[in-house]
Structure 1
């Protein structure tokens, strides 16, 4: 008799599970609220907007921004600067946030800022040991004849890759740039193809390169948004070679040339990156500074003179540092919220971020940031550590300041058969 009752109970549970499945698939989203450090956390189940908001994936080590990405200055009462240039952007590297910008997606000529992509590919070749700094190469006639700013290499003479790098980065030598392209790819044309492939992989969707130097070409254009992506890759992906961008001068062939980035000499924390100038592009400068452990990038294009691009860049950097601050809103591996998990060995799962999350906010509003979590669906075991189950939004004044993936910080194993069936039954009520 007891066996029959057990069998009957199992049948009931199984049927309940099927009914629960149908019920679960068609029920309306549920909400819950809790508090994290005084901030309201709203958990939304089965929220379709969370999945729809996910950006397309690209091969990138950084967060790629777009026209919908929040701009921190929009949350501030302090008006941004209004320099008389084509476009600009100020970007916080620690938080991966845009502090302020004007015309971020306007297509512009980058001039020698193009050399940052050339440098990125050369650094990658060095990291992959396809070339080496002490490797000697013979100067080609094509590289030697390249016009514009020069390192003054001589045709058929030997020069090291390390010297060519300094000639390109410190002296902005077009001859050195073409020679490096030939060393890495065998020819300049093949190298240009690699530049454009890398731009797409980085998520630089409004960029095209026609040559490795940035000399005027209808095939070469970009935006300050895309330049911010490129600058971040240089800083984050290639720290071993970043020191070249702060090198004050370089002497080759008995000719000493100073780094064209005048901000390096002002003792304001600037340690890179690159200048550019053509008649079409105007005077351009991507500069980056570190103050109190915080790195900020400014991008200026279309200034009227060297003096203007330097003064505008310093003004933008000062504005970004002085009027905005960073706050850590999620610590690595520590839960932002505990949530109900179904069919698991435990009934609660910790959700948060596996890496620290920092937000940039207007000064004085550091403690006003609220945390809102959204789930992609019901949390059903097994759940693996690091598994993305939704998103976490950091909200200021009722508007989303930043959004990050919401992940499982501690794995939850699946329960046994009885435990799973019991949870299915409970879910009906």
Structure 2
């Protein structure tokens, strides 16, 4: 080729490349920018549900698919609670940490491969720290592998009516195939509250001691919203800030789920607004909201959460002067349920309860059923009788 022709061809090629670059680097039209932003933005969804009836009081995008993030751990905990109830797990049982579990990214407890953690410590790590490594430890203990456990999670979700949820891991870490809806998360929350009342108190914990260090939780709304007692926060970039929350006022429990919040604060504020709106709505006289018993102290009740809940004592509704000790036999969501339990226990004990008085103590949004006015030895004897009959009981000094 002639040298001039070669130069001409080269110049033409350079000109074409520059033109192409100009097109590629040109600013997107406003409409295109909006479409790109919309496609990548988390789904904003919410639902407000009456926990007693399951009736939906308010909803927006409640059936739109999104990512559960750490709300996934509510199902991990449900399967853990069910294993405890079956006796296939024990609260004091030590679980070994695998290499796979230890490799999970934060949030985590930084567990080392080959180390151990008890089942109860694992539960507390999930409800406070939302520890991904610990979620995998539980998943592997219950399913053999995290993949097999995720299949169990999905099957359980279908069984309780979560029609659009698919779980792919135990923690909620990003997976494009792990999807859910606000409605499904409300259904899961309700199932935990109603079917696992004995264990639900764990969700009220804001901190726990881990090897001498205090681990604090992420659910800050509980500290400022009266009556709120759980349950779980969550965040990944694809989901935004999520929160499933439950609160009780005047014996009525509501569940609010907000997905896709722009920040933790805005998410919390929206949940508070939903709950406020729900509690302002009158309950139909024909269908009063059912009282949830929420029994926390039952057979084999010796967990950290139950003990800690029990000793945060309020002012008793009644107090006998027969002795400085009391026994506690249950914690309930309503005064009436606690009162029934206290009177039934007194009747069961017969002569052992002579001189003791049924009492109800309100503390932390719960009503605690007690018999007061025991001498120390008599309180221990009463608890021994109740425990032998399979009932929960412990003695405490009356204040």
What residue number does 1:111 align with? 69
Q: TM-score, normalised by structure 2?
A: 0.60
- Contact map agreement 2:207 2:216 (CA 8 A) in 1: yes
Query: Which residue of 226, 230, 236 corresponds with 2:184?
Result: 226
Shift of 1:85: 6.9
**Structure 2 partner of 1:319:** 277
Measure the CA separation in 2 of the matches of 1:185 and 1:331.
37
Provide the C-alpha distance between the structure 2 equivalents of 1:331 and 1:114, rounded to a whole number of angstroms: 28
Q: Given the alignment, which residue of 154, 173, 193 partners 2:131?
A: 173
Give per-residue Cα distances to partners, 1:48-93, cap 9 Å, x unaligned: xxxxxxxxxxxxxxxxxxxxxxxxxxxxxxxxxxxx9711000011
- Mapped pair 1:204 → 2:204: no
- The corresponding residue for 1:396 is none
Q: Which runs of 4+ in 1 moved over 4 A?
A: none
Deviation per residue, 1:247-291 (Å, 9 max, x gap): 011221344222211111114110000000011100010111000
Greater RCO between the two (CA within 8 Å, min separation 6)? Answer: 1
User: Which among 156, 160, 179 is matched to residue 118 of structure 2?
Assistant: 160
Give yes or no for contact 1:111–1:276 (8 Å, CA) kept in 2. Answer: yes
Match of 1:95 among 53, 57, 80: 53
Per the alignment, residue 288 of structure 1 pairs with 246
1:85–1:300 Cα contact (<8 Å) kept: no
Partner of 2:95: 137
- The two structures have a TM-score, normalised by structure 1, of 0.56
**Structure with greater proportional helix content:** 2
> How far apart in 2 are the matches of 1:115 and 1:174?
9
Q: How does 1:146-157 map to 2 (within 5 A)?
A: 146-157=104-115
- Assess if the C-alpha contact under 8 Å between 1:144 and 1:153 holds in 2: yes
Q: Tell me the equivalent position of 2:315.
A: none
Q: Following TM superposition, by how much is the alpha carbon of 1:153 offset from its aligned partner in structure 2, in angstroms?
A: 2.2
The CA deviation at 1:151 is 2.1
> 2: CA distance between counterparts of 1:310 and 1:331?
25
> Helix, strand or coil for the counterpart of 1:325?
coil
Q: Which runs of 5+ in 2 are unaligned?
A: 1-41, 291-399
**Offset at residue 242 of structure 1 (A):** 0.7
Structure 2 equivalent of residue 192 of structure 1: 150
Alpha-carbon displacement from aligned partner over 1:330-371 (angstroms, at most 9, x marks no partner): 999xxxxxxxxxxxxxxxxxxxxxxxxxxxxxxxxxxxxxxx
Instruction: Evaluate the alpha carbon distance shift between residue 237 and residue 185 of structure 1 in structure 2; reply closer, same or farther with a 3 A threshold.
Output: same
The aligned length equals 249
Contact map agreement 1:109 1:220 (CA 8 A) in 2: yes
What is the distance in 2 between the residues matched to 1:213 and 1:280?
15
Q: SS state of the match for residue 245, structure 1?
A: helix
Q: Give CA deviations for 1:374-419 in whole Å, capped at 9, x if unaligned.
A: xxxxxxxxxxxxxxxxxxxxxxxxxxxxxxxxxxxxxxxxxxxxxx
Distance 2:229 2:190 in 1: 14
Q: How far, CA to CA, are the matches of 2:103 and 2:289 in structure 1?
A: 54
Report if the CA contact (8 A) 1:88-1:299 is conserved. yes
Alignment of 1:10-89 (within 5 A): 86-89=44-47
| Structure 1 pair 331–311 and aligned structure 2 pair: CA distance change class (3 A) | closer
C-alpha contact (below 8 Å) 2:252/2:289 kept by paired residues: no
* Structure-1 residue corresponding to 2:211: 253
Residue 275 of structure 1: aligned partner: 233
Q: Check the 8 A contact 1:274/1:286 in 2, yes or no.
A: yes
Q: Which moved more, 1:148-157 or 1:109-118?
A: 148-157
How far apart are the structure 2 equivalents of 1:244 and 1:264? 13
**1:120-168 per-position Cα deviation (integer Å, ceiling 9, x unaligned):** 1111111000111100122111111111211232221122111011111
Across the aligned residues of Structure 1 and Structure 2, the Cα RMSD in angstroms comes to 1.8
Kindly state the Cα deviation for residue 95 of structure 1 after the two structures are TM-superposed: 2.4
Contact 1:91 1:296 in 2 (8 A): yes
Q: Distance between the aligned counterparts of 2:174 and 2:102, measured in 1?
A: 18
Give 5+ residue unaligned stretches, structure 1.
1-83, 333-429
Name the residue aligned to 1:123: 81
1:276-425 mapped onto 2 (5 Å cutoff): 276-329=234-287
Instruction: Give CA deviations for 1:194-216 in whole Å, capped at 9, x if unaligned.
Output: 01111111121111011111111
Separation in structure 1 between the aligned mates of residue 288 and residue 114 of structure 2, nearest angstrom:
57
SS in 2 for 1:242: helix
| Separation in 1, partners of 2:134, 2:285 | 42
Task: Give me the whole-angstrom Cα distance separating, in 2, the residues matched to 1:308 and 1:322.
Answer: 21
